[in-house]
Chains A and B, each alone.
Chain A
């Protein structure tokens, strides 16, 4: 698969801005279409919040724009049916573990791939690209056999984290950022007698801080949103991350609640809010040039 090429280092300028054309293009028709599209894209999020605040589900068009009668009862309802706090903690540990392993081992691997000559570098690089196009779902059966059956890691955080431990896209981003630093920087530091680890820690790492944030954001959405794997690996409700807890609530328990949709949507808001908030705040770090750099054909 030669679709992924790597000659181009990431563009440093985070947002190239609109093309500085000499002629002034009329942009308002495009803007109107884009705004309408954005409305369609954002409406389900708005509706999620509104639905979670309704005392009784009101699915009429007017119900989407309530003028009063909003309540937080649904949040209490879902919290009384499932252990929301424990699920959030589980999601946090799962996600935190993956991010930690990705940052520590991913930075080391990305640095080695970009800056060090060692045997097997080419093979490692090719494998890193290959991993990104082989669907994880193919591997669920053997990984389930290994982790749950052979190693007995069902219902453990380790079992949850392991298959996701080092995000290959993040390794790739680290490599691209290390690659674009000037070689003189490294040879100067080495001439001064700095060891390789010190070069990485004190010279290279401070210069690639934006990559760190991008990689953390990107890594976050994997485990936080993942459903299938934690669903397979956890059977005890006390170990389940929020996505699994909520899915089980939707498919098993919801029918018995007084306002099932309200409670489900309240859970959905709790699950969606951290990701939406992170990406709204740090949106500048999650952009085409960071991600797309490695994916240009």
Chain B
């Protein structure tokens, strides 16, 4: 996109102006406009990211502001501490259980509901809003209702009568994590429906018409046109749902009263909070964080390999 201005500039001998242009770009004012955001990203994203890795390789403890303290390099010691800690391993297994329930449920429900939403004529706005209202509401407020619904004497157990699980949902070590997984699926589903709705606008209508002429039914069209048509978004949904799962904190903290019963619903972030802030070992907590991110990255790569192999 060569403008007249550039042509003129190129003809002249290099002036101060053109050297500045080479250094800062044609519109250096952009640096000023984007400056605050750049500083923000550098100070509150890039620097902490590096600091997290740095802390995880040092013996780090909290000190008063300004105090000079020795923080020796300890290599992989923190990682050894973390990996040999049964509570940490339990928390990773818990999140694994969470993901196995939450991720497939999220993908299937979001795509099916988005497809249905895309085809209805009436009540579209009402329905769409109904589905994303949990997404825009605070977890703390929603956890309050779920506590009420799933408590020992709650409505869910009343409905189930003798079929109610014993011990009750949130204090049952086999059920606490599945309830959390269901909660998060319900809370986040609306957002993923919105993503799929956007993706569905890009699937050619002619394909459906051609399929319908060829005698394909609804299910057939869904499986052979919709599902492959939105596959890139499915990868995105998988990755985002996994990140959400890896970030789990509020639900184990409040819904199951601190990862209970007996650590059956702890999450890595919850253990990070316990080890790092409560017990004052930020180095160990930082190592958990680094491992968590590496695991999430690996899972994301696997998704991409599996879904985009053709």
A positions within 8 Å CB-CB of B: 1, 3-4, 11, 15-16, 18-19, 21-23, 25, 27, 30-31, 33-35, 37-38, 41-42, 44-45, 47-48, 51, 57, 59-61, 63-64, 105-106, 108-109, 111-113, 116-121, 124, 127-128, 131, 133-146, 149-152, 162-163, 165-166, 168, 171, 196, 200, 221, 224-225, 227-228, 232, 243, 246-247, 250-251, 261, 264-265, 267-269, 271-272, 275-276, 278-280, 283-284, 286-289, 291-293, 295-297
Contact = CB atoms under 8 A, between A and B. Distances in A.
A16 B253 CA distance: 41
A11 to B, nearest CB: 7
- The winner among B23, B33, B130 for most chain A CB atoms within 10 A is B33
A253 B139 CA distance: 19
Nearest to A19: B205
Contact of B124 (A18, A261, A289): A18
B142 interface: yes
Contacts of B25: 116-121
A37 B115 CA distance: 14
Contact of A47 (B149, B233, B258, B292): B149
Given A21-B205, A139-B52, A296-B232, 16 more contacts: A33-B116, A34-B123, A41-B189, A45-B145, A48-B145, A61-B155, A63-B155, A124-B41, A131-B41, A135-B296, A139-B44, A140-B289, A196-B33, A227-B138, A268-B144, A272-B137
A224 B138 CA distance: 7
A141 B116 CA distance: 42
Contacts of B254: 247, 250-251
Given A44-B149, A146-B48, A279-B136, A141 B155 contact: no
A293 B199 CA distance: 9
A243 B138 contact: yes
20 contacts: A19-B205, A27-B121, A30-B120, A33-B116, A38-B131, A44-B145, A59-B153, A59-B157, A108-B37, A117-B25, A128-B41, A140-B276, A228-B250, A251-B257, A268-B145, A271-B140, A278-B136, A286-B132, A289-B201, A295-B198
Contacts of B300: 1
A27 B162 CA distance: 39
B171 interface: no
A232 B277 contact: yes
A118 B273 CA distance: 41
Nearest to A147: B44
B52 to A, nearest CB: 5
- The winner among B121, B140, B149, B289 for most chain A CB atoms within 10 A is B140
B236 interface: yes
A250 B144 contact: yes
Contacts of A112: 29-31, 33-34
Interface string B11-44: 0000000000001111111110110111011001
A47 B277 CA distance: 35
A269 B17 CA distance: 60
B224 interface: no
Q: Which 9 A-B pairs have the closest CB atoms?
A: A297-B232, A292-B198, A118-B30, A116-B30, A109-B37, A118-B25, A225-B138, A38-B130, A142-B48
Contacts of B285: 141
A44 B44 contact: no
